Amino acid sequence: MLRSPPECWRLLWSAVDDLLAEQPSPWEICTQNADGSLCMPYARYSDAVERVKQALFQVNSRVRFDWPNWDGIQRYQGGRGLADAPVADVCRMLTVITHAERFHDGTIGRALDDGTFLTALLRLRKWYDDIADIHAKHIHAPPGQSWISQRVSDLRTFQAVRRD
């Protein structure tokens, strides 16, 4: 996730803010097409939810693991304990929710309704806020201004002085 530039994180937080501001629920189950004909039920989400899903992908929050068998689904049910969970578990939970949506329409909606999705997003935001300055300064600094670039420059200066 740290490889993702700060701009991607800003897009995520903007989408999360929009999602938090939405009332009523940002999703619905649709059973009719626009022309009034019946269709198989499917979940339709607000633009904010769709932007959050896309931004989570852009910041590389998805992790590879055996998500269908992960015990955190029960451990953090309803978002309980997720606000203080390790960020790795938060990423696992977000991965479970977004992956499960592909197989079961409405998974994200149910996670929104019970608080799991927003709790996970807010915990991820707390983690990022704690490291945002370091992230911008040392990982995504302009060329030549990162911590490592400065240390390499100092080393070269030291080597040059020593040779003279």
Q: Which pLDDT tens digit goes with each residue over 109-157? A: 999 999 999 999 999 999 999 987 776 665 655 666 665 666 666 777 7
Residues 6+ positions from 36 with CB-CB distance below 8 Å: none
Is residue 40's pLDDT more than 70? Answer: yes
| 77-98: average pLDDT | 96
> Buried (b) or exposed (e) across 81-115, using 16+ Cβ within 10 A?
ebeebebebbbbbbbbbbebbeeebbbbbbbbeee
Cβ atoms of 101 and 116 closer than 8 Å: no
Helix, strand, coil percentages (3-state) for the chain, rounded to 5, are 65, 10, 25
Q: Say yes or no to pLDDT of 74 above 70.
A: yes
User: Binning pLDDT at 50, 70 and 90, where does residue 87 land?
Assistant: very high
Burial-class residue 145 by CB neighbours within 10 Å (0-12, 13-18, 19+).
Answer: exposed
pLDDT above 90: residue 99: yes
Residue 58 burial (C-beta neighbours within 10 Å; 0-12, 13-18, 19+): middle
Task: Report the percentage of the chain scoring pLDDT > 70.
Answer: 88
